[in-house]
Amino acid sequence: MISISGRRGARRKLLMHSGNIRTLEPRCPSAQAMIIDGQAISWIGNNDEIVGIPVDEYTMLNLAGKTVMPSFGDAHVHFAYLAQSLANLDLGGCKSYGEALKRTEDFARGLARNEWFIGRGWKKDEWTDTRLPHKRDLDLIAPNNPAAIYSKDEHMYWTNSLGLKKAGIDRMTPDPEGGLIERDNTGEPTGILMETACALLNQRIGKRSQSEVLKLIERAVGECHRSGVTAIGNFDDIDNFELLQEYHKKIGLKIRVRQYIPIRFLDNLLTLNLKSGFGNRYLNIAGTKTFADGSLGSQTAYMFGPYKGSRHNVGIEVTDQATLTELVRRSASGGLACAVHAIGDRANHQVLNAFADLSKKHRTLRHRIEHVQIIKDEDIPRFAQLGVIASMQPSHCSSDIDLMARYLGKRSNNAYSFRSIIDSDARVAFGSDAPIEKLDPFGGIYSAIARRSPDGGRRHRPDQRISVGEAFAGFTSGVAYALGDENLFGVIAPGRSADIIVMDEDPFRTRMETIRDIEVLATFFEGECVFGGERLME
């Protein structure tokens, strides 16, 4: 068996041939052969053009008709949370509150006294029973362990009495600005914290040791490689960014991480004169991140009108228009692209207003709106007009089909408008929002082209479906552009980094229903096979 990773310290020279290479580069969309020289692609062509190339200088790899494409980017990941979720309670997929409690009880048996009980993934809207999360149930399961269990969308915490005590929350604690401490009719906290109220608990959670987290980061990098992902837009907190730097120093990142720094650190960034792009090709600062509103699942996305079934609830305005406009202006003036979380139609409208207030000079940065889940038709053309990138997660469309009908009614016609946004000539970047959704580009592509519920049944606005090519572009060149790396990766072309995947099927020739089942056989990062090399030799 030959090695396709190359000798340590040696310059890799690899000639792949007899493949189905889909470059996603319009000037040369397909090929049969390519040369990787070191970290970059140096040549692409067809088998009959190999004649005259000194093949004895290369490691030869017969692709035997397998499909090769650019590796994926994921525009929106919470990487440290993804890493740590590998060791935490996972309530994803629970069909009832009773099932969630049973899984919680099983996990709690392995905890030491006073150890923090960390988890995520519960989604009350998917439960068949009507019971709701409450501290009293966690008190029975883990009375001696402070709990912090995020909802699937990570906009709500479920905690117990000990967790509330650690956070300093009681019946007299006021709701923080932009957040809510849920209470019963006596004023007693129920154990549910929403939006900025989650920070009261977050700041008290015990931290894992650095060595433990570095091991989990290693596992998460492996998850990326198995999924064919080699570049991410990262939305972790600042301390997790420091851990990634430590990991890169000690081990070496084999993915590209573009970090968005929470807006509360804007003054620090400006004082240090740090701008978008500061760093290296593996780890750099992409910009700042702030929130305009909450989430659809918790009914805190900021809307123009009340949610269906409510007279007054229009969601939560996490950052008001004046403050948002000023934060975006200061960030852009300092050379920092701004990514703003906006889900509701009013939140998206106000974020676009903030970007519209920028000078043309400061609009050239790669500003983004994260999620763009519900948006009025009249606001869609503003993305292209203002140069704002629509950073969206197609898998949310599938997951939220029932929620849209339940909470939005007719306004669900303004949800997940992929087709309209692309047709408006807006720049689009796709991601997963992992670990909120699974790190699964093929699943995201399926959601974008099929717009069906996870069970394949219900469909949301089929007129907003996009093509396979558009969906792949969203996860490749679209991500590269959003991260400021369009000259580095995203297509297969001479001079670009050799970041590629080998697959068991051609997504352009398979049936729509089977795209989500396509398997990554191998992932290459900068010419090195980082996953699945042995399978190419079978």
**Alpha-carbon distances of 123 from 98, 131, 247, 358, 442, rounded to whole Å:** 13, 12, 33, 38, 23
H/E element holding 523?
strand 520-525
Residue 312 lies in a domain: yes
The kind and range of the H/E element at 14 are: strand 13-17
Q: What percent of the chain has pLDDT over 90?
A: 86
- Residue written as token pair 């088998």: 47
Average pLDDT estimate for 262-280? 98
Domain closes at, from 184, 202, 220? 202
Q: Is the pLDDT of residue 1 over 90?
A: no
Phi then psi for 532, rounded to 5 degrees? 80, 15
> Which residue from 391, 394, 392 is spatially nearest to 368, judged by alpha carbons?
391
CA distance readout (Å), 26 to 74, 113, 441, 445, 491: 22, 60, 22, 20, 9
Whole-number Å distance between alpha carbons of 319 and 520: 41
Q: Is residue 188 within 8 Å of residue 207, measured between CB atoms?
A: no
Domain-ending residue, one of 185, 202, 219? 202
Instruction: State the Cα–Cα distance between residues 277 and 391, nearest whole angstrom.
Output: 18
Residues 328 and 438 in one domain: yes
Assess if residue 268 is contained within a domain.
Answer: no
Model pLDDT, residue 152:
86
**Whether residues 405 and 304 fall in one domain:** yes
| Contacts with 444 (C-beta within 8 Å, 6 or more apart), sequence order | 393, 394, 395, 430, 431, 432, 437, 471, 475
Split at pLDDT 50, 70, 90, the class of 92 is confident
Label residue 7 by pLDDT band (50, 70, 90).
very low
Give percent of the chain with pLDDT exceeding 70: 98
Is the same domain home to 38 and 97? no
Between helix 345-356 and helix 321-333 the angle, nearest 10°, is 40
Residues 293-302 have pLDDT tens digits of: 999 999 999 9
**Is residue 408 predicted with pLDDT exceeding 90?**
yes
User: Could you give phi then psi for residue 201, rounded to 5 degrees?
Assistant: -90, -40
Please tell me the predicted confidence (pLDDT) of residue 138. Answer: 97
> Domain tally for the chain?
3
Tokens of 105: 């009880």
Over 90: is that where the pLDDT of 369 sits? yes
pLDDT at 46: 96
> Does pLDDT of 2 surpass 70?
no
The percent helix, strand, coil of the chain (3-state, each to 5) is 35, 25, 40
Q: Which domain holds residue 30?
A: 13-71+496-537
53 and 163, same domain (yes or no)? no
319 and 428 fall within a common domain: yes
- Same domain assignment for residues 448 and 501: no
> CA torsion sign, 132 to 134 to 138 to 141?
negative
- Please indicate, yes or no, if residue 262 is contained in any of the structural domains: no
Q: Do 534 and 50 meet the contact criterion of CB atoms below 8 Å apart?
A: no
Is 490 part of a structural domain of the chain?
no
Contacts 24+ apart (CB under 8 A), 239-243: 240/79, 240/80, 240/81, 243/80, 243/210, 243/213, 243/214, 243/217
Are 508 and 383 part of one and the same domain?
no
Q: What is the CATH number of the domain that holds 198?
A: 3.10.310.70
Can you give the pLDDT at residue 6? 46
Residue 231 lies in a domain: no
User: Residue 238: inside a domain, yes or no?
Assistant: no
Q: Which CATH number characterizes residue 339's domain? A: 3.20.20.140
pLDDT tens, residue by residue, 25-59: 999 999 999 999 999 999 999 999 998 888 888 99
Beta-ladder partners of 73: 231
User: Are 471 and 448 contacting, i.e. CB atoms less than 8 angstroms apart?
Assistant: yes
**Confidence tier at 455 by pLDDT (50, 70, 90):** confident
Digit-coded pLDDT (tens) for 339-349: 999 999 999 99
3-state SS, residue 208: coil
Shared-domain flag, residues 514 and 385: no
Among 156, 175, 202, the domain-final residue is: 202
Q: Verify that 379 and 437 share a domain, yes or no.
A: yes
Tokens describing residue 280: 């290296």
- Does residue 328 sit within a domain? yes
Whether residue 346 lies inside any domain: the answer is: yes
**Nearest to residue 233, comparing CAs of 397, 366, 330, 398?**
366
User: Which token pair is 483?
Assistant: 């991260």
pTM: 0.88
Q: Domain of 65: which CATH number? A: 2.30.40.10
**Residues 473 and 500 occupy one common structural domain:** no
- Which tens digit of pLDDT belongs to each residue from 478-499? 999 999 999 999 999 999 999 9
Q: Which residues contact 35 (CB under 8 A, 6 or more apart)?
A: 13, 14, 15, 16, 41, 42, 43, 44, 53, 58
- Residue 265, pLDDT above cutoff 60: yes
Q: Do 174 and 315 sit in the same domain of this protein?
A: no
Residues 294, 183 share a domain: no
